[in-house]
Structure 1
């Protein structure tokens, strides 16, 4: 039985994304359509892998009926099973693992605009007390490219990314005015991926 469980857990990149999604968000339930969107996998592949994880007991499926006020979408919801035999070990493994390559992140960030400062924290450093996961300072930042980048990163790390972005002029002003938000970002745990600003 343990061998079968291990085979089911680590046999595909989609499954790794699923593990990150569910183990980083243990209190959330997802419809299949949301799981496909969040992992950015092919629908058939995701359904197959979700069924595999449910078959070994890691995921629970619960059918929910739409309520009269239509506040809840009816359908089959999936969530992680906290009573799964290796739940604690798997969650620890996922939380300790590096969410994504920093070099890869930086290469992609350089394509969304003229980035002068890029800081990571939170989910990227596995710290809970950062103000944001990603902070960008730069000019001519393409919102469309930034949103695509964030969606890709969220699929890879399995969690919604808290971010902030501002133009160089605004950051310069807020930094020298001792803006609380900017100071919080710089004082809390973070790592600089890129710094072209002499005063930071």
Structure 2
């Protein structure tokens, strides 16, 4: 419901949800029968990887793919969309727990954008800390994206860079409402970054 304007093939739905193909197919059949989603075939242009030669000419092939998308004409569409938004906000405690599991180096975590049902923000998640392992953070982010069903735009910085930006009155890309999940930094007036 968050991706109501997107056309997603089966493989992408599996990747984003983290579920296996039989389960995804079963759920899609049920949603199609109810009328929550629709499907159609589209022509998809795919690049064929070139063989290792001097003259690498990029070739394309067209293949027909079945894509699924939200049915905005469904009579309970707005209610379902609101329900999914509320459910993602209810998972805030899970996100806090996951962020804390990234290590003791986390000093500040701020959610905005997609988490607060606002697609106009440039960044959905700001994480400030020292010694954060990139691989562990990317696994955490993959789990959050699977829960939300949508890519998360994030900003990851150390405390030195964050302090520099704070001193320079940088807006940190947050122009709309934000919500601090975990605040260990001595930031007394983070609110002045909101327009």
Please tell me the TM-score bracket, short chain as reference.
0.7 to 0.9
Q: Aligned-pair distance for 1:128?
A: 4.1
**126 and 44 in structure 1: CA distance in 2 versus 1, 3 angstrom threshold:** same
Structure-2 residue corresponding to 1:191: 179
Query: Aligned partners of 2:17, 2:117: CA distance in 1, in Å?
Result: 20
Task: Give the aligned length.
Answer: 175
- Deviations along 1:136-167, one digit per CA (max 9) or x if unpaired, are 10011111111111111111122221110101
Query: Aligned partners of 1:97, 1:66: CA distance in 2, in Å?
Result: 33
Gap regions ≥5 residues in structure 1? 1-22
- Deviations along 1:91-114, one digit per CA (max 9) or x if unpaired, are 232234344522221221122241
Native 8 Å contact 1:137 1:166 kept in 2: yes
Native 8 Å contact 1:96 1:126 kept in 2: no
Query: Aligned partners of 1:71, 1:172: CA distance in 2, in Å?
Result: 50
For residues 54-73 of structure 1, what are the structure 2 equivalents within 5 Å?
A: 54-67=32-45, 70=60
Match of 2:12 among 27, 34, 37: 34
Decide which moves more: 39-48 or 127-136: 127-136
Secondary structure, counterpart of 1:65 in structure 2: strand
Secondary structure, counterpart of 1:47 in structure 2: helix
Query: Aligned partners of 2:140, 2:31: CA distance in 1, in Å?
Result: 28
Match of 1:116 among 85, 107, 114: 107
**1:148 pairs with 2:139:** yes
Q: Aligned-pair distance for 1:170?
A: 0.9
Structure-2 residue corresponding to 1:165: 156
**87 and 146 in structure 1: CA distance in 2 versus 1, 3 angstrom threshold:** same
TM-score, normalised with respect to structure 2: 0.79
Match of 1:48 among 19, 26, 38: 26
Gap regions ≥5 residues in structure 2? 47-58, 189-195
Secondary structure, counterpart of 1:63 in structure 2: strand
**1:104 pairs with 2:83:** no
Secondary structure, counterpart of 2:85 in structure 1: helix
- Whichever structure has more helix as a proportion of its residues is 1
Q: Aligned-pair distance for 1:47?
A: 0.9
Match of 1:133 among 121, 124, 127: 124
- Whichever structure has more strand as a proportion of its residues is 2
Query: Aligned partners of 1:24, 1:169: CA distance in 2, in Å?
Result: 35
Secondary structure, counterpart of 1:75 in structure 2: strand
